C-alpha cells in the first residue's frame, strides 16, 4: 500500500489527537495502543509505523509542549528580570503548555524524564531533558556566570525540576498555586548553589 504524503500527515495528526483524548479520559496506563489505533481508524500494528512505542507517542506531545513553552518564554522575557525571576518565568512557561496534558502526565514523565539508568532510553525524553537544561544554561550564561555550572549543579537542578513537575502534576489547588511556593524555593536554592554559596567541599565528611 502506498499513501500520499498528506494522508500520512493526517494519520499522524489523528493518532496524536485521539491518543490525547483517550489518555485524558482513561489515563496513560489504562489506554491500550489498540484503543488508539482503532480510534484513529487504523489497524493495531499500523500505529507503530508512526511511533516506535506508546511511550514515544506520549512523549511527542510533551516535547512539543516543552518547545512551545520555550518559545513563549523568549517572547515574554523582557531581559530585565534577575536570574531567579527569569528561571521562574521559564519554568512557568513550560508548565502552562504542559497543562492540557496534566491528566496523564505522571507515568509518562516518570518513565521518560527520570535520570535513573535504564536499558531502553526514550529518545524524545532525552531530547526534552537536554533541551530544557540547555535553555537553563543559556539563561544562566546571560546573567554573567561565565563558568558553566558543573554536573553537581545541573544534576541538582534536574532533580528539583522533576520534583516540581511531579508535585504540580497532581497539585489539587485550583490553579496549582500550591506548586508556586515549591518552584520559588527550588529556584532560589538553585541560584544560591551556582552563586557559589558554601562552595567549599567536604565540610561534612562521614563516609
Partner DNA sequence: CTTTTTATATGAGCATGCTCATTTTTATGT
Partner DNA sequence: ACATAAAAATGAGCATGCTCATATAAAAAG
Report the site for a second copy in 87-146 (rule: CB under 8 A). Answer: 87-89, 92, 105-107, 109-111, 114-120
Residue-by-residue DSSP string for 71-97:
HHHHHH--S-S-HHHHHHHHHHHHHHH
130 touching DNA, by CB under 7 A: no
46 touching DNA, by CB under 7 A: yes
159 touching DNA, by CB under 7 A: no
DSSP label at residue 28: T
115 touching DNA, by CB under 7 A: no
Q: Candidates 14-22, 31-39, 45-53, 179-187 — which segment interacts with a second copy by CB under 8 A?
A: 179-187
For residue 102, what is its C-alpha cell?
Answer: 496534566
Single out the residue of 43, 121, 178, 181 in contact with DNA (rule: CB under 7 A): 43
Q: CB count, 10 Å around CB of 36?
A: 24
2 touching DNA, by CB under 7 A: yes
100: Cβ contacts below 8 Å, ≥ 6 apart: 20, 65
By a kind-dependent CB cut-off of 5 to 8 A, residue 168 interacts, out of a second copy, DNA, none, with: none
Task: Determine which helix (DSSP H) or strand (DSSP E) holds 46, and give its type and residue range.
Answer: none
Q: Would you say 46 or 155 has its CB closer to DNA? A: 46
Single out the residue of 54, 97, 111, 129 in contact with DNA (rule: CB under 7 A): 54
* Phi, psi values for residue 28, rounded to 5°: -65, -45
Q: Quick one: which of 86, 115, 65, 109 has its CA closest to 187?
A: 86
Report the site for DNA in 7-26 (rule: CB under 7 A). Answer: 7-8, 11
Cα distance between the two ends of the chain: 64
User: Cβ distance 19 to 36 under 8 Å?
Assistant: yes
| CA-based R_g, the chain, Å | 20
Question: Which residues bind to a second copy, rule: CB under 8 A?
Answer: 27, 29-30, 81-82, 84-85, 87-89, 92, 105-107, 109-111, 114-120, 151-153, 155-156, 158-160, 162-167, 169-170, 180-182, 184-189, 192-193, 197-198, 201-207
Amino acid at each position: 500500500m502506498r499513501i500520499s504524503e498528506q494522508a500520512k500527515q493526517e494519520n499522524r495528526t489523528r493518532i496524536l489527537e485521539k491518543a490525547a483524548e483517550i489518555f485524558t479520559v482513561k489515563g496513560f496506563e489504562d489506554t491500550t495502543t489498540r484503543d488508539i489505533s482503532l480510534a484513529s481508524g487504523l489497524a493495531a500494528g499500523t500505529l507503530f509505523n508512526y511511533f516506535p512505542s506508546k511511550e514515544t507517542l506520549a512523549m511527542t506531545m510533551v516535547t512539543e509542549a516543552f518547545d512551545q513553552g520555550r518559545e513563549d518564554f523568549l517572547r515574554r522575557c523582557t531581559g530585565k528580570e534577575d536570574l531567579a525571576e527569569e528561571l521562574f518565568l521559564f519554568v512557568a512557561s513550560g508548565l502552562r503548555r504542559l497543562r492540557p496534558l496534566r491528566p496523564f502526565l505522571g507515568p509518562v514523565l516518570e518513565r521518560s524524564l527520570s535520570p535513573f539508568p535504564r536499558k531502553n532510553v526514550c529518545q524524545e525524553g532525552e531530547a526534552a531533558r537536554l533541551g530544557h537544561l540547555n535553555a537553563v544554561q543559556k539563561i544562566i550564561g546571560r546573567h554573567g556566570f561565565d563558568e558553566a555550572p558543573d554536573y553537581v549543579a545541573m544534576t541538582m537542578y534536574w532533580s528539583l525540576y522533576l520534583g516540581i513537575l511531579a508535585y504540580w502534576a497532581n497539585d489539587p489547588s485550583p490553579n496549582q498555586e500550591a506548586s508556586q511556593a515549591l518552584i520559588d524555593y527550588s529556584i532560589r536554592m538553585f541560584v544560591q548553589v551556582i552563586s557559589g554559596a558554601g562552595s567549599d567541599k567536604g565540610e561534612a565528611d562521614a563516609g
